[in-house]
């Protein structure tokens, strides 16, 4: 079982357009899947779920879609409040939330603070997030803290990321048919297994998630090493 699953939730717009609906309807339905998949993570013992809710590139979308997505995240967090508390979900935000209107920002910061001791699942919401921007931010913070060049290690850089203290993602799922990582968790995904699904995110059910977990379970992870094989057995490393 992966300890950390990351998801690029692609295909909301197409899901809506195929039904003759506004793209926003796809995002709204997609947000409901987050609840289902978070719940499945708890059932299966996945400890961290990171979802790509709004990338730094998403600012290029039409203004009404951007403001809809900005509103959707605080709205869903409020709507799912009882589930978040009952199921002991810890909310973390990866990205710059300064762009949110003041009240929304305070609401998001409140739920992050209030859930800090929850231990069933870390739900990382990547919001106004870019992987390269995260690395730049980490480097700046280390320089500001006065860390000396010769003291910089991979562990120190990992500790300066939004995901400090969490395991790197074991499995990254991208729905919607495209096969790229789109500036998501650039530092953390060096040995992540990728799983691409053509299913559009609002159609990505618990069963589809289980299929991704089963596929992950069948993979042999080597982390760049030669696999351990029985004496005399052929190795394909
Ligand atoms: C990509 O689909 C999806 C997004 C840019 C937004 C995803 C955000 C949510 C589902 C809300 C998250 C909710 C919570 C609770 C944090 P797309 O619009 O690129 O789809 P397309 O490729 O079909 O156009």
| Separation of alpha carbons 29 and 12, rounded Å | 8
In ligand 1, which atom is closest to the CA atom of 55? 5
Q: How much is the pLDDT for 224?
A: 84
- Cβ burial of 188 (10 Å; 0-12, 13-18, 19+) is buried
Q: Is residue 227 scored above 80 in pLDDT?
A: no
- Distance, in Å, from the CA atom of 210 to the CA atom of 186, rounded to the nearest integer, reads 25
DSSP state of 42: H
pLDDT at res. 237 = 44
Cα-Cα end-to-end distance for the chain: 23
Report residue 170's pLDDT band, with 50, 70 and 90 as the boundaries.
very high
Catalytic site includes residue 10: yes
Calpha distance 194→216 (Å, rounded)? 9
Confidence at residue 44, expressed as pLDDT on a 0 to 100 scale: 98
Give percent of the chain above pLDDT 70: 96
pTM over 0.75: yes
Q: 10 CA distance to ligand 1 centroid (A)?
A: 6
* Average pLDDT along the chain: 94
* Domains located in the chain, CATH noted: 4-130+167-217 (3.40.1180.10)
Chain-centroid distance, C-alpha 213? 16
Higher pLDDT, 197 or 223: 197
For ligand 1, atom 16, which residue shows the shortest CA distance? Answer: 73
The answer to whether 183 is a known catalytic residue is no
Taking 80 as the threshold, does the pLDDT of residue 91 lie above it? yes
């Amino acid at each position: 079982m992966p300890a950390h699953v990351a998801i690029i939730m692609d295909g909301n717009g197409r899901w809506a357009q195929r039904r003759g609906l506004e793209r926003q309807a796809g995002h709204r339905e997609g947000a409901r899947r987050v609840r289902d998949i978070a719940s499945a993570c708890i059932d299966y013992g996945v400890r961290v779920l990171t979802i790509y809710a709004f990338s730094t590139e998403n600012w290029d979308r039409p203004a009404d879609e951007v403001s809809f997505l900005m509103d959707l995240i605080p709205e869903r967090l409020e709507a799912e409040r009882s589930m978040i508390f009952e199921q002991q979900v810890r909310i973390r935000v990866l990205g710059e939330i300064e762009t949110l209107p003041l009240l929304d920002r305070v609401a998001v910061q409140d739920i992050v603070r209030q859930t800090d001791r929850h231990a069933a699942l870390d739900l990382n919401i990547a919001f106004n997030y870019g992987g390269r921007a995260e690395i730049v931010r980490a480097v700046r913070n280390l320089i500001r803290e006065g860390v000396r060049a010769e003291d910089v290690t991979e562990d120190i850089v990992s500790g300066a990321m939004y995901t400090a203290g969490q395991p790197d993602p074991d499995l990254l799922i991208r729905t919607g048919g495209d096969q790229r990582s789109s500036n998501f968790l650039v530092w953390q995904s060096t040995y992540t297994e990728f799983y691409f699904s053509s299913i559009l995110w609002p159609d990505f059910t618990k069963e589809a998630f289980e299929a991704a977990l089963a596929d992950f379970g069948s993979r042999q992870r080597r982390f760049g090493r030669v696999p351990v094989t029985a004496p005399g057995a052929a190795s394909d490393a």
